[in-house]
Amino acid sequence: MDSKKRQPLGIELVKRGIVSEEDIERALDYQKAEPKKKIGDILNILRLCDPYILINAMGEILEEKAIYLKEGDIKLNVTDYISIDIARQYKAIPFEETSGRIKVCFADTSNRRAVETVRLLLLNKGLIMEKYITFETNIDIILNSFAGSSENIDLNADVSGFVDSVIKTAMDKRASDIHIEPMQEGMRVRYRIDGVLIDAANIGKEKQSQIIGRLKAISNMHQEKQESQDGRIIMYPDYNIRVSSQKNIYGEKFVLRLLKKNEDIRSIFDLGFPQDDKLVKDAFNKKNSITVIAAPTGEGKTTTLYSIIDYLNKPQINITTIEDPVEIRINGLNQIEVDPKITFADSLRTVLRQDPDIILVGEIRDKETAEIAMQAGQTGHYVLSTIHTIDAIEVITRLRKMGVSNYDISSTLATSVSQRLVRRLCPDCSKERDFTTEEKAFIKKIGERYNVNFDLNGKKTYDACGCKKCNNTGYLGRIGIFEILILNDEIRSLIVDNKSAIDIRNAALASGYLPFIIDGINKVINGTTNMQELNNKLALY
């Protein structure tokens, strides 16, 4: 069938008598609440027709091979071919290999990036891929059976015991967040581990109100209030747990942020910062200035700030921090926690009268805080803070947009550091291989663009596979990739002259600044991560 003339899937299914127009209307109503789900998957979820007939009809209409994939159809060890992480990301499962050809099911064969990525991974293993289509629900069920994330969750416990097991299992699995989400037919529990959400459990709808009540009770939230609320759980000695609730169309969703108390502070080098003592001293050993760490939310800015403070902390130095909240308590520091009645700016004004040498401001959020931080940097203090922006150069643009003058930026900003977190390959299950021709070509292109010589002679890379230790993701823990901009006289002059970010970037590149893709590729070459993870983070190709 000519895809240009193809009718929408629902119409084609009605024409073939697979479903009725009323069935399609029901599916479209469902899709309003779940806009990311496709009509075929919704018809299957709602059980509006026989799933085997439906998937085969979809295959004919879409001109794809189709199968109603079940766990018993998997005739191979999936992680020998692709990691569970890749399978989750691209909704793809290899299920049979014969004579150099491998069959792979996709939830969406029209997703060219997904199909091509999996095809190339398998081609690198000497296999020709045959693609099939199946329901996304089938893929999710199979992947959840592989992951085993709920193995420690007591699904049969009473509500209090269930919530407790969800939280304790998250702690055991190093989760940073727990998502407890009401859905149409039940509740879903997911853990964010190393930056990626992983399904942990599904609970029947009949327990929803009790679970919500228990979460509100231990978070000190109002039981009857259904608007958004914030709370804290303090019943676990080693953790502070921040809780946020928000109403959605199926109930109230909860996100629990797990913050470990008294966690050991890692050195700046353990976080992934380049192993260069001189660079660290040039970047952070300052006076009369500000250093800013820049990255989107969840990319480790605060952890890097703590490492810098730990590096600078000496008995003869007075260090004060202003945070929201204080995440790690550090001996020898004066740590202040802001609250709704006391802003960063209010606290910073008071701190300036407390004779500090170094001031850590958790985040520069507005013009008032930025200007007071600049004032502190101009009057003998060293200020460390964070800003939400995409890279080290854009720190200058962000400060300008806040209303900070070019003079104050040029005279006070000493260093801006931007970072991203990429997942480390699991040492227990990653598999060594040669770099592909495509990977080598891409690395060479980046090297030529930034005048960097990447030595790939004799170097290997690794595929993420998956094992019990890493929750079948192929990755264990995260590491930073960094870019460091140390302002010199030329860059300061460009700022004062109100030159564009492009002009500043060109001058920075000429003076030795390198974007974090360079650090990322170096970490691929040394085997810490791989190109697939780097691409996931930076959308390189």
pLDDT one-digit tens code per residue, 495-521: 999 999 999 999 999 999 999 999 999
- 178, 167 in Cβ contact below 8 A? yes
pLDDT of residue 240: 87
**Cα separation, 29 vs 389, whole angstroms:** 38
Average pLDDT rounded to a whole number, residues 265-285? 88
Confidence check: pLDDT of 149 > 60: no
**Percent of the chain having pLDDT more than 90?**
53
pLDDT of residue 399: 96
**3-17, 162-176, 314-328, 450-464, range with the lowest pLDDT:** 3-17
- H or E element at residue 88: helix 84-90
Average pLDDT rounded to a whole number, residues 185-211? 89
The one-letter amino acid code at 391 reads D
Most confident option among 108-122, 349-363, 364-378, 408-422? 408-422
With bands split at pLDDT 50, 70 and 90, how would you rate the model's confidence at 197?
confident
Q: Which tokens sit at 6?
A: 């193809």
Question: In terms of pLDDT, which residue wins out, 490 or 199?
Answer: 490
- 194, 478 in Cβ contact below 8 A? yes
Chain Cα centroid distance, residue 1: 40
The one-letter amino acid code at 195 reads G
Beta bridge pairs of residue 104: 94, 131
**Nearest-5° Cα angle at 415, 410 to 418:** 120
State pLDDT tens for residues 208-266: 999 999 999 999 999 888 889 999 999 998 898 999 999 998 999 999 999 887 777 88
pLDDT of residue 6: 63
**Percent of the chain having pLDDT more than 70?**
97
Sheet holding 65-66, edge to edge: 65-66, 128-133, 101-106, 92-98
Residues of the chain with CATH 3.30.300.160: 9-137
Average pLDDT rounded to a whole number, residues 470-497? 94
The third-level CATH classification (topology) of the domain covering 148-260 is Beta-Lactamase (3.30.450)
Nearest partner of 260 among 275, 240, 283, judged by Cα: 240
pLDDT of residue 541: 67
Confidence check: pLDDT of 448 > 90: yes
pLDDT of residue 146: 64
**99-113, 123-137, 329-343, 472-486, range with the lowest pLDDT:** 329-343
- 490, 512 in Cβ contact below 8 A? no
Residues of the chain with CATH 3.40.50.300: 277-538
Average pLDDT rounded to a whole number, residues 400-415? 96
Question: In terms of pLDDT, which residue wins out, 267 or 331?
Answer: 267
Average pLDDT rounded to a whole number, residues 170-191? 92
Average pLDDT rounded to a whole number, residues 465-471? 82
The one-letter amino acid code at 339 reads D
Average pLDDT rounded to a whole number, residues 440-454? 95
With bands split at pLDDT 50, 70 and 90, how would you rate the model's confidence at 314?
confident
With bands split at pLDDT 50, 70 and 90, how would you rate the model's confidence at 285?
confident
Confidence check: pLDDT of 147 > 70: no
pLDDT of residue 345: 84
**Cα separation, 371 vs 391, whole angstroms:** 21
pLDDT of residue 3: 45
Confidence check: pLDDT of 150 > 60: no
With bands split at pLDDT 50, 70 and 90, how would you rate the model's confidence at 2?
very low
Collapsing DSSP states into helix, strand and coil, what is residue 330?
A: coil
Confidence check: pLDDT of 148 > 70: no
**Cα separation, 376 vs 350, whole angstroms:** 11
Confidence check: pLDDT of 191 > 50: yes
Q: What does the H/E/C string look like for 338-392? A: CECCECHHHHHHHHCCCCCCEEEECCCCCHHHHHHHHHHHHCCCEEEEEECCCCC
pLDDT of residue 410: 96
pLDDT of residue 1: 38
Average pLDDT rounded to a whole number, residues 302-331? 86
**142-151, 347-356, 476-485, range with the lowest pLDDT:** 142-151
State pLDDT tens for residues 23-71: 899 888 888 877 888 899 999 888 888 889 999 999 999 999 999 998 8
pLDDT of residue 224: 84
Please tell us whether the domain made up of 9-137 is placed in CATH 3.30.300.160. yes
Average pLDDT rounded to a whole number, residues 469-497? 93
Question: In terms of pLDDT, which residue wins out, 452 or 48?
Answer: 452
Q: What size, in residues, is the chain?
A: 541
Q: What average pLDDT is seen over the chain?
A: 89
CATH superfamily of 277-538: P-loop containing nucleotide triphosphate hydrolases (3.40.50.300)
pLDDT of residue 185: 80
pLDDT of residue 152: 67
Q: Which residues of 100-119 are buried (b: 16+ CB within 10 A; e: fewer)?
A: eebbbbbbbbeeeebbebbb
